[in-house]
Amino acid sequence: MKKVIISAITALVLFSCQNDQTESSAPEAAVASRRACATQDVLEAQLKANPALAITMNEIEEFTIQHGDKKFQGRLVNGKIEIPVVVNVLYRTTAENISNTQIQSQIDVLNKDFNALNSDYNNVPALFAGVKANIGISFVLDQVIRKSTTKTSWGTNDAMKKTAQGGIAPTSPTTKLNMWSCTIGGGILGYAQFPGGASSTDGVVIDPKYFGLSGSANAPFNLGRTATHEVGHWMNLRHIWGDATCGSDLVSDTPTHNTANYGVPAYPHYSTCSGTPVEMTMNYMDYVDDAAMYMFSTGQKNRIAAIFTSGGARASFAQP
């Protein structure tokens, strides 16, 4: 499962997120049938607007390679990094004004998924059992901010994060994870900003239909795993297929995938990429349904650890 680590700039600039757009012509109330994440598209737009960002992210990648085997440092709560979460709710309809109960359910899912406490963690096949990982990061709901709007959808240009465009500016983005719940449109479930971007737009955006345990009507994305996937991006994880055919996610213990997987793939799901016949479809960074994703790998854990260690891109979240 060893993969060649390609240059970060190549990975960032050339690879495009393979979003499924089949829902784009459907009514905004419709629930997507296939996962679509706009994180890579948003990154490419940011790189185009600010070419210097590529240098910053390349430096982060070099730091990650050097420090990926380090332990978390700094402030710990019960032995873990604890991240305060601010949820910004932008709503036009009652359904969009998600309840505190739904919001807390999302925090609960994050705590389970990032601490290997999810009930399906033991479903990881024997082939990958040796690399399944407990990330060891906890989340606590810090604040909920609500704002009524007349917008029917917000798109992916970060308008929801800007007061001047009717959104809500992030609260303390260098020490608190900001999440926005708002209708995105275009069949997009959510997106995140990778480490290295501007603090004024830092955080994770999730459509309210896929936020937390949002009810059986919103299956197959009603188990809160959209946020797990997007927070993974926020912690510097790539899509497992590297956003290219047989691409690299910059992690050595995840198999090379042909491309994104959807739905609930039967195991084993074989790749035609060189040297890695069975894909890790149950990884949170694939595109499968919520019920079909339930693990991070040790390599992904090490990659996350690097950004929180002293000198890392998100070290401020772990300061004493």
The token duo for 8 is: 């970060």
Q: Which residues are catalytic?
A: 230
- Using CB atoms within 10 Å of the CB of residue 152, give its burial: 0 to 12 exposed, 13 to 18 middle, 19+ buried: exposed
Q: Distance between CA atoms of 236 and 223, rounded to whole angstroms?
A: 22
The token duo for 18 is: 């393979």
